[in-house]
Amino acid sequence: MKHILQIACAAMLCLFSTQVMAQMSYGGEPYSFKNTISQVIPVVEIEALDVDALLAEDASIEGKSHPMRIGVTKNANYTLYNSGRIDYMPDGSTVWRLQFHMKNATFTSMNFSTFNIPEGAELFLYTPDREYVIGKFTAQNKMEDGTFYPQEMPGEDIIVEYYEPANAAFNGQLVIDQISQGYYDFFHVKEIEGGLGNADGTCHPNAICYDNLWHDQIQSVVCYTMTSGGYVYMCSGAMVNNTARDGKKYLLSANHCYESGTWKFYFNYQATTCSGTSGSITKTATGYTLKAKDNGDSSSDFMLVEITGSINPAFNVFLAGWDNSSSVPSNPTNCAGIHHPGGDIKKLSIPQHIYNGNTSGYGKFWLANWAAETGATEQGSSGSPLFNKNKLIVGQLYAGSSSCDNPAGYDLYGKLSNSWTNNNNSSSSKKLQPWLDPNNTGATTLQGEYLNTVGMANFTQVVNPLDVRPNPSNGYVTVSGSFDDANAVCNIYDMTGSLVMSRNIALSPEFNLNLNALTSGMYIMEICGSKAVYHSKIMINK
């Protein structure tokens, strides 16, 4: 099956008419896929990395208190005029193509320092076997500074194809100034280590195993890469809500993860079954603005950034709630850490104990350890959230000694209560409060909500459970609940977070729905009214 990485559908474009940038793509397929054209493409051979040496360097750096290095970047200068092949088509259009081969690379990517193309022009990137295709990218994808940087692609070969129509207003300019080669198997294209992915250990349950309890929070956790200083790094983080409930795309992570450069965010990078070993890499966004951060010496090692690129509504992103009180998280086995250990697909770990670091000389941190069968953390988990029993974020991962071989080792999560004001720091760039409580409401907790429907739910009202029966069903179901609205929108998402059905419905204490168009499988039903959002997991079995 082809993995056509088309990140947005045309129906969603109207939502972003004033801010279409970064990874938003527009579907279709490259000119060379559907027209008669030579398939001989010049290949640039990029020197292979010394992977053993790089891994040895990584192994010499112990602990989780630094971002995980996964690739190496090299400076380049490839343009439409000094490299590649140009084909002149009968209708006057032109097609430029160039292939890069990076021996033994686990993934490849590139940055465009100049991205200036006319309306009607199209850029695609794809693997030679056409299994992975991203695009089309158009003039609307140019960043404010005139650059563009598409997502990483699996494997060691990548083809760049640029189509320019005959009636173009001007000749396009593309400059590839940086090439990235992966040496860590971020996308599982080579041998899979561990039982369930590319983490070092095999004790990490797939997050989907706990979807019935933690679905919303799972939808908030993000894996992101940073290209900076000659390397590619990765960490984990969580999208978070703010009291203005204005849909700001804030990501909470760890200060020690921060590397200035180009950032790429991967949503829903997770398995769809408990035994799954891979996840979708199609749901991405790029671009960020740093809002606040401080290190682990003077604070809880926190970082807050705002994603500047568009996020496709189909990603079903959840903005997690938070608790900035100093209360020690109780009932630790009802808490959770959700993360990407080793850059692996999303995992969920259940704490065995959570302690106040005040008693151990770590006053700015929560101390958590794990049971052997419920996971741990690894490098790459850095910046990931710790949720309390109320499913609210209370901290982000800083460092620790836990592993699958040593689950009893303690991990340090920076306290949200500490980073909230950072000891009443006068700078808004060194605390969370100005960003997560911009109107100074004094809130100590905030519930999470979906980015698609942010601001719709009235948090002062009790959200009653949603009952769907029969469950499993053949598609014809009866829904009941205590609804305060006469009308709502019913969205159905598959287990990758993709929206597969949406319709306007009339609400009553009990009503019928025809979901017969759905194929057999597990889904999430979301009913969005003006005052509340209701969720239920449903199974279609035909």
Catalytic positions are 256, 301, 382
d(CA 476, CA 470): 8
Phi, psi (degrees; rounded to nearest 5) at 451:
-55, -35
Query: 């299994």: which residue's tokens?
Result: 131
Phi-psi sector, 229: left (phi>0), alpha (psi -120 to 50), beta: left
Q: Residue 211 carries which side chain, given as an amino acid letter?
A: D
Angle at 27 between CA 26 and CA 31, to 5 degrees: 110
Q: Which of 73, 272, 251, 273 is closest to 177 using CA atoms?
A: 73
Instruction: Tell whether the torsion through CA atoms of 145, 147, 148 and 152 is positive or negative.
Output: negative
Q: Which of 416, 412, 371 is closest to 63 using CA atoms?
A: 412
Q: Which of 269, 273, 271, 270 is closest to 284 using CA atoms?
A: 269
Could you tell me which residues come within 8 angstroms of residue 104 by beta carbon, excluding any fewer than 6 positions away? Answer: 48, 49, 51, 156, 183
- Number of other CB atoms surrounding residue 333 within 10 Å: 13
Query: 């199609």: which residue's tokens?
Result: 282
45, 113, 496, 538 from 468: Cα distances, Å: 57, 52, 21, 7
From the number of C-beta atoms within 10 Å of its C-beta (0-12, 13-18, 19+), residue 129 rates as exposed
